[in-house]
Amino acid sequence: MRLNRLNAIEQYVLQKGTATLEDLAKNFSVSANTIRRDINELIQRGQIKKVYGGVSSNASHTPLPISVRASKCSMEKLTIGRLAATLVEDNSTIFLDSGSTTITLLPHIASRQQVTMVTHSLPAMFEASKYSNLKVVALGGIYNPTTSSYFGVSTIQMLTRMTMDTVFIAATGVSLEHGLTNTTYLEAEIKQCVTSLKRRVVLMADHSKFGYDSMITFCDFSGLFAVVTDRLPPEPFQDAIKKNNIRLICPETVSY
């Protein structure tokens, strides 16, 4: 009985990334003293560690460099970029999230008229500079070389003053329980800020992102305007998309 609980607690922490002692005690219906004893034993296994207020996975949550991410599912990302571009209209303002997927829509909107792109992504700024039709609003801040983007208080302050029509967002993991998730707090803070502005939020994510959670939730799945992906997502996601009147844009739903 206890061994089963220990295994279940370990898997719970590994899947969520972090958990408080109160959360664990509630979820596994045991006392605070019992959960402390269980945690002390699990730490000896080496998979989890103590942190302030609870425990976390020992797995690294450092995001992969963007150059590495860009090479993964590259053809799928190009498809997503082409499909996502159909949501960009003339005389509109869009937000482009950092990441290797969102940037792929830029070549497909180069011929649009009077489109303004707001972004904190350095690669997006560079790519957009190739197209004279695109107007670029660059959000400054502290540069993060891992994500090739800017973050900080000034970045958030600028975002809250912006008026945008459509937000194109990326995620490290997407689940129905935890929504859109990311690996780092600073990046997730910007994502949470921009998705809370009540604009049309469009998720651009390849098939590998569905059914997985990262460390930090920044947006509920039900709050999306559209999901753009490279193939039909698993059935539970299709059901949630239909239930919440979310547009699903992928090769199977588009007529050529």
Domain boundaries, given as residue ranges, for the chain: 2-57, 66-253
CATH top-level class of 66-253 = alpha beta
Q: For residue 180, what are the CA distances in angstroms to 98, 113, 164, 183?
A: 14, 31, 20, 11
**Which residue's structure tokens are 């049309």?**
200
CA 229/CA 184 separation, integer angstroms: 23
pLDDT band for 119, please (50, 70, 90 cuts).
very high
Pick the more confident residue, 51 or 207.
207
The string of DSSP codes covering the chain is -HHHHHHHHHHHHHHHSEEEHHHHHHHTT--HHHHHHHHHHHHTTTSEEEETTEEEESS--PPPPHHHHHTTTHHHHHHHHHHHGGG--TT-EEEE-SSTTGGGGGGGGTTSSSEEEEE-BHHHHHHHTT-TTEEEEE--SEEETTTTEEESHHHHHHHHT---SEEEE--SEEETTTEEEES-HHHHHHHHHHHTT-SEEEEE--GGGBT---SEEEE-GGG-SEEE-SSPPPHHHHHHHHHTT-EEESGGG---
pLDDT at 59: 58
Q: Nearest-CA neighbor of 87 among 241, 232, 199, 196?
A: 199
pTM of the predicted model, to two decimals?
A: 0.73
pLDDT at 68: 47
- Of 3.40.50.720, 1.10.10.10, 3.40.50.2300, 1.10.3720.10, the CATH number of 2-57 is 1.10.10.10
Q: How large is the average pLDDT for residues 79-95? A: 97
pLDDT at 147: 84
Angle between helices 32-43 and 2-16 (to 10 degrees): 80
Pick the more confident residue, 19 or 106.
106
Q: How large is the average pLDDT for residues 93-105? A: 94
pLDDT at 96 over 70: yes
Q: Do domains 2-57 and 66-253 have the same CATH topology?
A: no
Mean pLDDT of the chain: 88
Q: Which residues contact 71 (CB under 8 A, 6 or more apart)?
A: none
Pick the more confident residue, 219 or 20.
219
Q: How large is the average pLDDT for residues 188-212? A: 92
Residue 200 and residue 163 in contact, taking contact as beta carbons nearer than 8 Å? no
pLDDT at 232: 96
Q: What are the pLDDT digits (tens) for 25-77? A: 888 889 988 998 988 888 887 778 887 678 887 754 445 455 445 545 578 99
pLDDT band for 8, please (50, 70, 90 cuts).
confident
pLDDT at 111 over 70: yes
pLDDT at 18: 81
Joined tokens for residue 51: 């942190």
pLDDT at 254: 87
List residues bridging with 200 in a β-sheet: 166
